[in-house]
Amino acid sequence: MPLSLFLPSGVLAVLLTAGSTSGPAPNLRVDPALQPILARMWDRSPTFRAQCARLADAPDLLVAVWYDDRVVRGTRRAATTFVRHAGRLVSAQVRLAHGHDPTELLAHELEHVMEQLDGVQLRMAIATREGVSRAPDGSFETKRAIEAGLQVQREVRRGRDTLARVDPIPEAAATHAQQSHAQQSLPQRRRP
């Protein structure tokens, strides 16, 4: 089934291909507003480059990232919806809220994509308490994603200013990934 069927009308058309082999993974499509941030992450963060390499190894998966402030609910700053077709992961739709560090949010949500590529069973991990928790709304949060987001944030900031500085600690547990095995209805309009 064409991937565009899963995306809100018009969104796919404006998402940019992140780059070629010398840049972020070609199957990572981002809102144009995020393009400069993505370029900076690529330049400065080995952790982000490793995420991109992993993503490039899964060319059948499309990761689309855009701003959507309707994602904010409670402490949520970002959300990722996974779409599977015939049991295969075909799309990850990442929505970020404005007003937070998009570097951390994007790396955090991409790590949730990495978890899915690695076949992490979130429900099982909760039972064994392997760094996974579940929010009341049913979304999952993982220690691994929290740490990846903060690591990329540190690497990007270190690249910007090598002088010693104290990073403010963001609300680490405030992002969530939703996991779904079904097609989900998505917002029909984009906000600036």
Q: Please count the residues of this chain forming the interface with Zn ion, following the rule CB under 5 A.
A: 4
Instruction: Specify the stretch interacting with Zn ion by CB under 5 A; choose among 9-17, 84-92, 167-175, 182-190.
Output: 167-175
- Does position 145 interact with Zn ion (CB under 5 A)? The reply is yes
Q: Which of 153, 175, 178, 179 binds Zn ion (CB under 5 A)?
A: 175
Q: How many CA atoms lie within 13 A of 67 on its CB side?
A: 16
Would you state the structure tokens that stand for residue 177, as one six-digit string? 């990934």
Q: Does 111 bind Zn ion (CB under 5 A)?
A: no
Using the contact rule CB under 5 A, the part of the chain among 87-95, 120-128, 130-138, 144-152 near Zn ion is 144-152
Question: Could you give the dihedral angle defined by the CA atoms of residues 89, 171, 157 and 41, in that order, rounded to the nearest 10 degrees?
Answer: 10
Examine residue 141 and tell whether it contacts Zn ion (CB under 5 A). Answer: yes
User: What are the residues binding Zn ion (CB under 5 A)?
Assistant: 141, 145, 175, 177
